Structure 1
Amino acid sequence: MIPSIIALCIYLCLTIITSLKISQSVILSRQQKIINMILNALFPIFWFYLINPVIFPKDKILTKDERDKLYAEENGSKLGDEVGSSRNARYL
C-alpha cells in the first residue's frame, strides 16, 4: 500500500512539473499544449498496465511444504501425517 502511494505521489509530481513546463512553452500552440499535457499524464498509466504483469506476477511463490503437498495431491498420495488412518486422509 505504501509503495503504491509513494509511486502515485512521484507520478503526480512529475506530471505536474512537466505539464507546467509544457504550458510555459512559447513554441507550441494552445492545442498542442493541451494534447501534450494529456499524453504526458496518460503515457505512464498506459506503460504501467503494459508492464504490470511483469512487475507483479499473479503466480504465488510456493514454499517447499506447499509444493510437496501439491505434488502429493497430483500423485494421489495422502496428505498429512496420518499413519494407517484412512478416515482423515485426503485423496485426489
Structure 2
Amino acid sequence: MTFYIIAAIIYLILTIFTSLKIAKSNVLSTQQKTINVVLNALIPILWLYLTYPIIFPKDKIMTKSEREKIIAQESGSKLGDDVGSSRDSIFL
C-alpha cells in the first residue's frame, strides 16, 4: 500500500511541475498548452494501465514440472510425480 501512495505522490509532483512548465511556455498557444497538459497527465496513467499486468502479474510463474503435472491430469495419465517428463510416458 505504501508503494502505491509513494508512486501517486511522485506522479502528482512530476505532473504539476511539468504542467507549470508547459503553462509558462511562450512558444505554445493556449490550445496547445491545454492539450499538452491533458496529455501530460493522461499518458503516464495509460502506460501504467498497459504495463501493469506485465510488471505485476497476478498468476505465479509455473514451473515445468507443475505444467507437466497439469497436462498429465488433463490427458488422464496416471503417472506419479516422480515419473519422468511427459516425453518419457510414450515408452511406458
Q: Which residue in the other structure is 1:32 paired with?
A: 32
What runs of 5+ residues in structure 1 fail to find an aligned partner?
Answer: 78-92
Q: Which residue in the other structure is 2:17 paired with?
A: 17
What runs of 5+ residues in structure 2 fail to find an aligned partner?
Answer: 80-92
- Secondary structure at the aligned position of 1:57 is classed as coil
CA RMSD of aligned residues (A): 2.4
Q: String of CA shifts for 1:14-63, please: whole Å, max 9, x gaps.
A: 0000000000000000110000000000000000011111111010357x
Q: String of CA shifts for 1:51-80, please: whole Å, max 9, x gaps.
A: 111111010357xxxx6xxx59x4679xxx
Bigger helix fraction: 2
Q: TM-score, normalised by structure 1?
A: 0.67
Q: Which residue in the other structure is 2:59 paired with?
A: 59
- Secondary structure at the aligned position of 2:27 is classed as coil
How many residues end up aligned between the 2 structures? 73
Runs of 4+ in 1 over 3 A off after TM superposition: 74-77
Q: TM-score, normalised by structure 2?
A: 0.67
